[in-house]
Each structure stands twice: as C-alpha cells, then as structure tokens.
Structure 1
C-alpha cells in the first residue's frame, strides 16, 4: 500500500543535533546538521 506524502512526513522522526543531542526545530529549507547553539560555538 502506498502511503500519502502527508502521512510520510508526519511520521518522520525528529531531527537531533549530533553534537549535543538536542531536538532541533525543523525549517523547510534547512540542511543544517547541528543546532544553532552548536553552530555558533564553531564560528567563535
């Protein structure tokens, strides 16, 4: 059975930052792997 695109995206797991383990807020056009806090630590 083919699942609808809406159901597919609804059932995806939350994105988790590999650096700190925090659940990230998804953004439509973001391919970032780390959360904002970890990214800001890398640019300092």
Structure 2
C-alpha cells in the first residue's frame, strides 16, 4: 500500500464550480460560499 503525496492530491482536485450557473470559481480558503460572486449578487437584489 503506497500513500499519495498530499501535494499531488490537492493538485488533482477538480476546480470548484458554482451550482447555480456552472462557472468555475477561484478557490478562497476563507470562503465557504458555494455560489460565485455574480450569483450571490443576484440573490441580494
């Protein structure tokens, strides 16, 4: 049994995608929002 290098694990994760519009989002460590900024702005209106 071999362990995978943690750096390789994080490099191969798929990009975060907004469930509302499908746009790929920039990951932000301090953010727990699932929607992109554009969809969040629409909800605030």
After TM superposition, the score normalised by the length of structure 2 is 0.87
Q: Which structure: larger Rg? A: 2
Unmatched tracts of structure 1, length 5 or more: none
Q: Give the equivalent residue in structure 1 for 2:4.
A: 3
Q: Give the equivalent residue in structure 2 for 1:17.
A: 18
Runs (4 or more) in structure 1 with deviation over 2 Å come to none
What RMSD, in angstroms, separates the aligned Cα atoms of the two structures?
0.8
Q: How many residues align?
A: 44
Q: Distance in 1 between matches of 2:6 and 2:31?
A: 19
